Every structure is written in structure tokens, then in C-alpha cells.
Amino acid sequence: GAGVSQSPSNKVTEKGKDVELRCDPISGHTALYWYRQSLGQGLEFLIYFQGNSAPDKSGLPSDRFSAERTGGSVSTLTIQRTQQEDSAVYLCASSPGITVYYEQYFGPGTRLTVT
Amino acid sequence: AQSVTQLDSHVSVSEGTPVLLRCNYSSSYSPSLFWYVQHPNKGLQLLLKYTSAATLVKGINGFEAEFKKSETSFHLTKPSAHMSDAAEYFCVVSRTGANNLFFGTGTRLTVIP
């Protein structure tokens, strides 16, 4: 079956511009996660959605970062006024239910380069 | 708070020899522990997980890991390395029942023919 998909696969943007990254989770998965993988920070949790509950935003590094999940399916991660330190691979994952008892399935990521 | 330390950033083994990737964890709570693998240009894949059941956990592709509370370790092993095992491996911890994962810095495994 189809896995988690992310678009675009690569994004190059100028410092100060806004970017939107998209994640399509596996159909039927109620939980969706965003992570960031960068050379300096490794792989870090950003935000988590579960059904219609309020998202867990505890990992967002600044108020320039926001995310939405519409209709309990597709999610968009938005970075406003991008900075060079935002350059990283942004990974999305989905799982069938809440808590880490359920395996998280990862997408291939979006590589963001801020010039 | 939860964290993991992967003791080796790079491990190199010959094909057919054993693999040992080391991981120590720190957790204020009862932890769940995982190993993920990331092949070049591919997404992360779960190898195995420990969630307070059997301490010796068997995963895919012949990998296994043992949870040792007294040593706060969760080392990943495989009896015989295959060329296809070459990848980046991440040790991951979470609080049991929680929702987000905390990743180690990764260990790059090279398999020499």
C-alpha cells in the first residue's frame, strides 16, 4: 500500500521567504508527526497531531514555525521568514494510533535549503 | 527527561562478522526504546522496539537488542553482517505511553566486502 508521502522532495529558498511543506499520511492513520533532521542538531521532534485533539507543539523551535492538519489527514508545516539555520531535512511520520506502542511510519523527507 | 547516547558515530565491520552498535539511555520514566535504520535516500524504518515486555527483542533482518536496566543500555546486535546492512542506525527513546520520540545522533555502519 501507499506509504507516507512528502512534497516537495527538495526546496531551495531565499532567506526571509516563507515555505510550506506538505505531508500525506497513510490512509487511516490518526496520528501524524513532524521531525527535523539537521547536521548540528540530529533528529528532533517538532509537533504531533492526534485526531481532533489539540496538537503537541512542544518541539517547535520558534514562533516562525507552525503546522496544520486539515480534515484529520494532510498536514502542512509552514516556516515563516526562513533563516539559514532552518536548512534541514523535514520528516513526517504517521501511526495508526496514539502512543509509541504504535509504529511510526516515516516519509522520505523534504530537504530544505535556505540561501 | 529522556535522551540516548550512541557511543560510536561510525562502525566498520567485514561482511559475515558480528555487528554491535552501542546505545545508552537516560529516562526519568519507564522507557520505551527503539532502533531505526535509514538507508541512503530512503525513509526511516523501524528495526525493533522494547516496550516493557521481554528484555531481549528480535527485529527485522536478523537484528536483535537487549534491554539492560542495570546498565541503562540497549545495544543492537547481529550475528553476521550483510552488505545490505550498510546504513545509518538510530537509537530512540520515549516515555512509555507518550507520543514523541527522542533520537540519538546516529551510528553509520559500513560493511566491508
pLDDT tens-digit series, residues B65-79: 999 999 999 999 999
Please give the average per-residue pLDDT across B85-106, as a whole number: 86
From A95, which residue of chain B is nearest by alpha-carbon distance?
B99
Per-residue b/e over B37-65, b at no fewer than 16 CB within 10 Å? bbeeeebbbbbbbbbeeeeebebeeebbb
Rounded to the nearest 5 degrees, what angle is found at the Cα of A27, between the Cα atoms of A78 and A89?
Answer: 35
* Burial (CB count <10 Å: 0-12, 13-18, 19+), residue A2: exposed
Chain A, chain B: beta-carbon pairs less than 8 Å apart: 60
Would you call A12 an interface residue with chain B, using a CB distance cutoff of 8 Å? no
One-letter amino acid at A91 equals L
A38, closest residue in chain B (CA to CA):
B105
Which pLDDT score is estimated for A53? 84
Average pLDDT of chain A is 91
Smallest CA-to-CA distance from A74 within A37, A32, A44, A34 is with A32
Distance CA A17, CA A64 (A): 11
Instruction: Name the residue facing B43 among A42, A45, A109 (closest C-beta).
Output: A109
Banded pLDDT at B84 (limits 50, 70, 90):
very high
Predicted confidence (pLDDT) per residue in A10-65, tens digit: 999 999 999 999 999 999 999 999 999 987 677 898 999 988 888 888 889 999 99
CB contact under 8 A, A93 and B32: no
Residue B89 pLDDT: 96
Q: Which residues pair with A7 in a beta bridge?
A: A22
- Share of residues in chain A with pLDDT > 70 (%): 95
Distance CA B24, CA B91 (A): 9
**Side chain identity at residue B15, one-letter code:** E
Task: Find the range with the poorest average confidence among A8-12, A27-31, A80-84, A101-105.
Answer: A101-105
Q: In chain A, which residues have their Cβ closer than 8 Å to the Cβ of B94?
A: 100
